[in-house]
Amino acid sequence: MENVVTLQNNKRIVNGWAFFDWANSAYALVISAAIFPGYYTNNTDETIYILGWKVSNSALYSYAIAVAYLLIAIASPALSGIADFGGIRKKFMRFFTVLGASACIALFWFKGMSTLWVGLLGFIFATAGFAGGLVFYNSYLPVIATADQYDKVSAKGFVYGYIGSIILLVINLVIILNPTWFGLPDGASGSKFAAQIAFVMVGLWWIGFSQIPFKRLPADKINTASTELLIHEGWVELKNVWREIKSTTNLKFFLYSFLLYNAGVQTVIFMASIFASKVLAFGTSELIILILILQIVAAIGANLFAKISDKKGNKFSLNFMLVCWIIICLGAFVITDKITFYLLAGLVGLVMGGIQSLSRSTYAKLIPANTKNMTSYFSFMDVMDKIAVVVGTFAFGFVEQLTGGIRYSALSLSIFFIIGMFLLSKVTIKD
């Protein structure tokens, strides 16, 4: 029988865990950040009418993200409780992987306004598959690593994700820029078809490389109780964990802080390409290069801030990055040229990898030691993550609809970072 000694800090298991990031980060980069936003903008009307409702294509895009994350925010607490009590954590990871990868492949059939419903539903379900699997993936961190290794192992996952997704994005970039090399038509039609092929490649990459963590991570210890009992006990477990969180000041305020500043972080990540496309007229190839810069720097940032936190502490590192995020929002409001935007993207990348990695490892440090409800604890962080995306992307779209300018949407995100810093000041973190 496997025990905690053989599972924790085992190099093969840790590397296998990190490969889940390698697999699903292809969605986060290629679909949500690099290729799909530009493809969506180029193949939809500036103004879209849905059931008599007039909305800009970029606002509709942000609302689609909000819908996807709202669905997962509602479902994941129950699923996490069931996963803890029923011992079927890996089973849920597989389900969401298949859902997300299949939806990515379905985007191949989104070709314009006549198939807009395919694009929106495919994007929503791909996003739900990506987001849904993360809570179960994150909950393995305290299982496979000791507390002194959380920052390092968490950073490794993000680095694997950045490197793997960059490799696939470079392949996609070569195909899009040189369609004739691969037997595709020349010009815009060839590049469009190359983008559709990229959606299929992401799905295959995602489901293919995820087999590595599925093979290496600890096997599920399945509870054979009835489905009704699993659901009931799952909710009971969640309620117990929520009571514990409410009574733990540090954990409670960190989750509130994370909710606010993560709303800004995730919205910037999701909407950066749309912003660049609409405000600065970035083309598909320019967007891919922009995202490549962001990802390469993000891989460096994840490791850099893991080292800084080791010397200065997690709280210092998080506060420093939040100041950088505020500067980013102000910069986006006044920026007028592409070169400056590339530099701003570099700063986004530097703090993007660091803040995501340190948020996960900081939360792991705050969870009570020896808890048996690890997935349920991470479920609450995951719910905060999902609600943050819902709040941030909805606010982004609403401000654009209200003001008629996407720059004001970017500026409004700074409010999330400022309040997040205030709440973080109430948290004591033992490094």
DSSP state of 179: G
State the pLDDT at residue 222. Answer: 64
- The single-letter code of the amino acid at 337 is D
State the pLDDT at residue 226. Answer: 57
In whole angstroms, give the CA distance from residue 212 to residue 20: 8
pLDDT tens-place values along the chain, 431 residues long: 344 446 788 889 999 999 999 999 889 888 887 788 888 988 898 888 887 788 888 888 888 888 888 887 777 666 666 666 556 778 888 999 999 999 999 999 999 899 999 999 999 999 889 988 887 887 788 778 887 887 788 878 878 887 888 899 889 888 888 889 988 888 778 888 999 999 999 999 999 999 999 999 887 776 665 556 666 666 676 677 778 888 888 888 999 999 999 999 989 888 888 888 888 888 777 888 887 787 778 778 877 888 888 888 889 999 999 999 999 999 999 988 888 988 898 898 889 878 887 887 888 888 877 776 666 777 777 778 888 888 998 899 889 888 888 899 999 999 999 999 999 999 888 76
Q: How many CB atoms lie within 10 A of CB 148?
A: 10
What structural domains and CATH numbers belong to the chain?
4-424 (1.20.1250.20)
State the pLDDT at residue 372. Answer: 67
DSSP per-residue string spanning 224-252: -S-HHHHHHHHHHHHHHHHHHHHT-HHHH
**pTM greater than the 0.75 cutoff:** no
State the pLDDT at residue 33. Answer: 77
In whole angstroms, give the CA distance from residue 416 to residue 419: 5
Sign, Cα dihedral of 38, 43, 44, 45: positive
53 pairs with which residues across the strands? Answer: 50
Q: Where are the beta strands (DSSP E) in 315-389?
A: none
Residues sharing a CB contact under 8 Å with residue 24, sequence separation 6 or more, in sequence order: 97, 100, 130, 133, 134, 161, 206, 210
- Indicate the SS3 state at residue 132: helix
Strands 53-56 and 47-50, sheet pairing: antiparallel
In whole angstroms, give the CA distance from residue 23 to residue 305: 23
Q: How many CB atoms lie within 10 A of CB 342?
A: 16
Q: Where are the alpha helices (DSSP H) in 27-56?
A: 35-42
